Structure 1
Amino acid sequence: MTSSERMKVRAPELRGRRWLNTGGAELGLAELRGRIVVLDFWTFCCVNCLHALDELRVVEEEFGDVLTIIGVHSPKFVHEADPAAVEAAVERYGVEHPVLDDPELTTWDAYAARAWPTLAVIDPDGFVVARMAGEGHGPGLAALVRELIEQHGDRLRRGDGPYVPPPAPDTALRFPGKVVALPGGTYLVSDTAHHQLVELAADLETELRRVGDGDRGFVDGQATSARFSEPQGLLVLDASSVLVADTVNHAIRRVDLDAGTVSTLAGTGSQLRERVAPGSTATELSSPWDLARWDDRVVVAMAGSHQLWTLDPDTGTATVLAGTTNEGLRDGAFDEAFLAQPSGLAADGPVLWVADSEISALRRVVTDPEAGPQVGTAVGQGLFDFGHRDGPAAAALLQHPLGVAVLPDSSVAVADTYNGAVRRFDPSSGTVSTLAEGLAEPSDLLVDGETLIVVESAAHRLVRLPIPAGSLRGSPGGGSVGGGTLVDGTSHTVRRTPTGLGPGVALRIGFVPPAGQHLDDRFGDPTSLTVAADPPSLLRSGAGTSTGLTRELELDPAVGSGVLQVAVAAAACDSADGTAGTFAACHRYQQDWGIPVVVSGDGAATLELDLRSV
């Protein structure tokens, strides 16, 4: 049976809690018959999902006459199941197609999705003809749509799709991301969904100026006409210069506040698609999210590649500092550690603190190997465990934190975004407490005297909170709580149906290059497969990184259950046309899976995961 025959199955119906971006209408596959449909299974915490959204925008624009894209929002975190949070995320990320809110993972399970993001392609007759996991599928998806258009021809139903835009919002700021203090006593905030920067007076409300014309784009020049795309992190270089993590443009921009100009320091506007190891440089970046000065260098939280980079502000040279590009929680040396969507940075002398969002962790980075792991974990359990629990740091839980700041007593405040809280980690006692609750997705923190400025992103504002006396340097009444409270809240594990596997498992990754592309092995195998497990003892053999898309695994029945972590990458190149001097473009496809498994004697002997199957 060919892969196309295996994939041609009747598409299950779309079922969930409600529909967004349809004007209140309910959609079913019957109403979509005659159109090409792409289901995008996503969740708004996931940077890979945001990359896929950017890729889908291009495909939507080209084929909107015959193509309907439907987002199926299937949450990972508890907060992502909140109806208001889903609605806000659809607006925040500029989703301009219908979205099915699927909090119970009903449609996710019906389509046997295993990873965020996953694309399922449905032909005009209502059959699933392809499945693609991960990001990088934009060109291949476009090629497949062209094939389906040619195949179905006049039977296609053309015209506008079912998308109905929601009413336009009207607030001064829209989902602000990060904030810095400027030398003159004012503040600069990234007005992320407005694609601008805004200078605010000391009251955090009065606007003094805006940088950027407000349209999404990648344009240098005068501040009034420059364009950004969902800017996030900010770093003051000197009295007049600010660096900007221009996240969706995959670039670092420089703003000269005196001259009123914007220039590009690093990045090309295209996302990095290669695996770049610590110590190596690159001209392309991948979703830079925050910036900080540390150890006489500028550090970039490169959320899109799950790494930390450094940047030379004079030359724009970008170099990988730490992280292998594998998504996960693993401490160790810079070239061995795993991170997962680092999104917030704060330096305190020899220590760099990192809000590592996708593993709900606070990480500690040092340069002295004698001090222990160069990348360590202060708070956090891994990719699938989260919650709101204070107390000893080893047992404490966060939920997708995006910001971090060092308090005057060298304890660490964390913008615990999906818990709507500000948490405090005390390194001296190794404890976590809660400083504030009831906030709307706090995304950044800034210490300002005896107050803490909080970017309350989903409330579209900045607020001030008093820093508890116990966290002020030299103040009496300190201790492990530092003026906060101890919350013994709930703990959660990402909810997905476990896969039953036997002790011996043949892991097979399905990957079919798009039409017109091929795996180019002239310079070696263009694939990479990494396998690990949580707990590590689950995997008796088969762990590690090597080339190839297959692996024989041995699982330990005595351990019983756990999470099998699989990361794969493959590079496919356009077929050469034989013209002298013509170079074929290559495309990188990648995905990480966390597969909950139960090991038993009668479990499956094969685990098949599709990177791209048609």
Structure 2
Amino acid sequence: MVSQARVRAPELRGEGGWINTGGRDLRLADLRGRTVILDFWTFCCVNCLHVLDELRELEERHRDTLVIVGVHSPKFAHEADHQAVVDAVERYQVAHPVLDDPGLETWKQYAVRAWPTLVVIDPEGYVVAQHAGEGHAHAITRLVAELEREHAAKGTLRRAGSPYELPEPEPTALRFPGKVLRLPEGGFLVSDTTRHQLVELAPDGETVLRRVGSGERGLVDGGAAEARFSEPQGLALLPDGKTVVVADTVNHALRSYEPDSGEVRTLAGTGEQWWQGAATDGPARRVALSSPWDVEWFDGRLWIAMAGVHQLWTYTPPAEGGAEGTVRAEAGTTNEGLVDGPAAEAWFAQPSGLSASADGKRLWVADSETSAVRWIERADGDRQGGDADGHADRRAGGQADGGLHVRTAAGTGLFDFGHRDGEAGQALFQHPLGVTALPGGRVAVSDTYNHALRCYDPATGEVTTLATDLRELSDAVLVEHAGEGAGEGTRAEIVVVESARHRLTRLRLPEEAVRVDPVAHRTQRSATEVAPGELLLDVVFQAPEGQKPDDRYGPSTRLVVGSTPPELLAEGAGPGTDLRRRLRLAEGVAEGVLHVSATAASCDDPDGAGEAAEYPACHVHQQDWGVPVRVTGSGTRRLPLVLAGMDDGRES
């Protein structure tokens, strides 16, 4: 048994300052005597949002001995804007202090490599645990309770009120709305995300006709007044013209809403989050989902942008007289990245917006984390604009097989983004959340972090900007009006959800593009310098205390490795079960990104005997890393990534 050196937690610093503290700056010394959890997050990251939800119950249960501190560490340029962070804290109802660290100062001090990462600090100010990814709530809950008992006995526990101060809410009709649907009668239905409601608006887009949902977070069916949602997003009308399907994002469910009756019921999902190894098809209410963000009817089924697992799923309603529909994963591997090809082999990164083309041949996808506009179609279908998307086909290396195929119109990957118009292969977006099919085959893009409405035209292969200064637009819907005068044709306008301005905004579709000075960004995370040739990838996982690896049905771990560009890795790409792998970097490739996806399963072992309890609770720990690397002669030959590890000064 070796005693490990105790590590004092570095001070918390960030030039953006503190949020949710009433204007006060916090120091770790102010929190001494209580357990502190640092949650390194960024508001674009769906896995970070999952962790926020995982921590809510723990935060409430130990409110006088535990302080959670969010350390906001931006990926995108927009996320370094302090007001955007303030908005995100309200949008996602973060009920603890948040340090805005736009320069990644505290991120570097704690040697963090991935979003999200949780660091636990004991009441004496020492780091005792670090966990990357999600799924660690059970282990952290147990550790927090243990630290509370231990330090109460030592006399080093201090009970006190939380430093959190709730900001004064603003009285607006909508609060951070997410998606919008045009109703058959001409009005609009909006997902009022932060208030956990749906709101019906008159055709003017402003007058509130009805609120659906009590406004309390929850998963409750029933009438408009008693139903409950949890941060709903996408909306779609089924072909019957009477039923709206709602992507109830944080409930991991699909709900239905009947405007005629006001009734809400659950169509799909169990209310629990999907984890690796769970079913990916079956009866809709018996299969778990993961953060469904948008929905759209296409190809005879309802498609789901399953942001939480980087996939597209479908929901098929029950046959007439049937009680329950079915769900199925259709596209994506759950690996996060940008890879085209046959649907089952493609990679997505938080698909967040869907729109079917008017001819029914394409389903457009806003793939937010790769800042890309993509589509899915039958591989033997219409290939309009083939010259413009040739770069995407080369990237895929796939071939038409008569099935569903994923292609990319514009976007390059996880770490490059910006605002640049022109030929699609060179155009850049910044975390788009919505797409809207337009007449003539074009698609409008809600380019969220650029605050701009953009347009991709497959016929020309060009991307243009239609409008700017639209604060965090997240969706748009086309509205066509018949001409009122003699000889007038149809007049089209687009209604945009300005989420950060809490409103719908009407725009006439311009005939010409708006001129915008091009800007290109790469994420500010510094690249890890690695030596040429062989590189040892070492994913560190230690089952939390009181648990053992769950190897009852085979290996308890899984590791998938890839790279951008694919040529970066000469050896070592692909899946496996060992969390340590020797990679070989190809000669002549100086830099790129390693994509690493690790999963580990553990079960309760309360007696520490190495055997799980008779009916153990089992847990899945998972994380995706995108690690920028640069090949240099002085670089490291070992790349350690911590999935879950302890450094608590106890004997081990």
| TM superposition score normalised by structure 1 | 0.95
For each residue in 1:197-224, what CA deviation from the matched residue of structure 2 results, as whole angstroms up to 9, or x when unmatched?
A: 0110011000111100111111111111
The one-letter amino acid paired with 2:571 is: S
Find the aligned partners of 2:428 and 2:282 in 1 and give their Cα distance. 34
Pairs within 5 Å for 1:444-459: 444-449=475-480, 450-459=492-501
For each residue in 1:387-413, what CA deviation from the matched residue of structure 2 results, as whole angstroms up to 9, or x when unmatched?
A: 000000001000000000111121010
The one-letter amino acid paired with 2:33 is: G
Find the aligned partners of 1:497 and 1:224 in 2 and give their Cα distance. 50
Q: Is the 8 A contact 2:279 2:288 kept in 1?
A: no
1:313 aligns with 317
2:367 aligns with 356
For each residue in 1:342-377, what CA deviation from the matched residue of structure 2 results, as whole angstroms up to 9, or x when unmatched?
A: 000001111110000011000110123576660111
The one-letter amino acid paired with 1:346 is: S
Find the aligned partners of 1:443 and 1:353 in 2 and give their Cα distance. 15
Q: Is residue 514 of structure 1 aligned with residue 544 of structure 2? A: yes
Task: Judge which range, 536-545 or 268-277, deviates more.
Answer: 268-277
The one-letter amino acid paired with 1:597 is: V
Of 415, 419, 434, 2:465 maps to 434
Find the aligned partners of 1:94 and 1:555 in 2 and give their Cα distance. 43
2:514 aligns with 485
Measured after TM superposition, the shift of residue 557 of structure 1 is 4.9
Pairs within 5 Å for 1:53-202: 53-153=52-152, 154-202=155-203
Q: Is residue 388 of structure 1 aligned with residue 429 of structure 2? A: no
Measured after TM superposition, the shift of residue 445 of structure 1 is 1.0
Task: Please state whether the residue corresponding to 1:290 is helix, strand or coil.
Answer: strand
Measured after TM superposition, the shift of residue 515 of structure 1 is 2.2
Q: Is the 8 A contact 2:366 2:432 kept in 1?
A: yes
Task: Judge which range, 44-53 or 488-497, deviates more.
Answer: 488-497
2:377 aligns with 366
2:505 aligns with 463
The answer for unaligned runs of 5 or more in structure 1 is: 470-482
Q: Is residue 9 of structure 1 aligned with residue 7 of structure 2? A: yes
Of 349, 355, 362, 1:346 maps to 355
Task: Please state whether the residue corresponding to 2:378 is helix, strand or coil.
Answer: coil
The one-letter amino acid paired with 2:310 is: H
1:410 aligns with 441
Of 529, 536, 541, 1:500 maps to 529
Q: Is residue 598 of structure 1 aligned with residue 596 of structure 2? A: no
Q: Is the 8 A contact 1:556 1:599 kept in 2?
A: no
For each residue in 1:570-595, what CA deviation from the matched residue of structure 2 results, as whole angstroms up to 9, or x when unmatched?
A: 11122389999953232111111111
Q: Is the 8 A contact 1:211 1:226 kept in 2?
A: yes
Of 306, 312, 323, 2:332 maps to 323
Find the aligned partners of 2:96 and 2:613 in 1 and give their Cα distance. 41
Q: Is residue 398 of structure 1 aligned with residue 400 of structure 2? A: no
Task: Judge which range, 165-174 or 364-373, deviates more.
Answer: 364-373
Task: Please state whether the residue corresponding to 1:414 is helix, strand or coil.
Answer: strand
Task: Judge which range, 270-279 or 144-153, deviates more.
Answer: 270-279
1:478 aligns with none
Measured after TM superposition, the shift of residue 486 of structure 1 is 4.6
Find the aligned partners of 1:124 and 1:145 in 2 and give their Cα distance. 10
| Change in CA separation of 1:33 and 1:369 when aligned onto 2, cut-off 3 Å | farther
For each residue in 1:296-341, what CA deviation from the matched residue of structure 2 results, as whole angstroms up to 9, or x when unmatched?
A: 1100000001000000222231100101000100111111110000
Find the aligned partners of 1:242 and 1:363 in 2 and give their Cα distance. 25
Task: Please state whether the residue corresponding to 2:341 is helix, strand or coil.
Answer: coil
The one-letter amino acid paired with 2:313 is: W
The one-letter amino acid paired with 2:460 is: S
Task: Judge which range, 584-593 or 456-465, deviates more.
Answer: 584-593
Find the aligned partners of 2:475 and 2:376 in 1 and give their Cα distance. 19
Q: Is the 8 A contact 2:453 2:465 kept in 1?
A: yes
Find the aligned partners of 1:87 and 1:192 in 2 and give their Cα distance. 16
The answer for unaligned runs of 5 or more in structure 2 is: 319-323, 384-398, 481-491, 647-652
Q: Is the 8 A contact 1:278 1:322 kept in 2?
A: no
Find the aligned partners of 1:273 and 1:60 in 2 and give their Cα distance. 23
Task: Judge which range, 368-377 or 184-193, deviates more.
Answer: 368-377
Find the aligned partners of 1:42 and 1:518 in 2 and give their Cα distance. 28
Find the aligned partners of 2:11 and 2:287 in 1 and give their Cα distance. 44
Find the aligned partners of 1:249 and 1:24 in 2 and give their Cα distance. 33
Q: Is the 8 A contact 1:557 1:599 kept in 2?
A: no
For each residue in 1:425-469, what CA deviation from the matched residue of structure 2 results, as whole angstroms up to 9, or x when unmatched?
A: 000111100000001000001011101110010000001111234
Task: Please state whether the residue corresponding to 2:172 is helix, strand or coil.
Answer: coil
Measured after TM superposition, the shift of residue 488 of structure 1 is 4.1
Q: RMSD of the alignment, in Å?
A: 1.9
- Sequence identity percentage: 57
The one-letter amino acid paired with 2:201 is: L
Aligned length: 599
Task: Judge which range, 199-208 or 582-591, deviates more.
Answer: 582-591
For each residue in 1:264-293, what CA deviation from the matched residue of structure 2 results, as whole angstroms up to 9, or x when unmatched?
A: 001111111124687677611000000001
Find the aligned partners of 2:628 and 2:613 in 1 and give their Cα distance. 48
Q: Is residue 537 of structure 1 aligned with residue 567 of structure 2? A: yes
Q: Is the 8 A contact 1:500 1:600 kept in 2?
A: yes
Task: Please state whether the residue corresponding to 2:623 is helix, strand or coil.
Answer: strand
Measured after TM superposition, the shift of residue 165 of structure 1 is 1.0
Q: Is the 8 A contact 1:65 1:161 kept in 2?
A: yes
Measured after TM superposition, the shift of residue 424 of structure 1 is 0.3
Of 603, 611, 614, 2:643 maps to 611
Task: Please state whether the residue corresponding to 2:131 is helix, strand or coil.
Answer: strand
Task: Please state whether the residue corresponding to 2:186 is helix, strand or coil.
Answer: coil
Find the aligned partners of 1:206 and 1:493 in 2 and give their Cα distance. 42
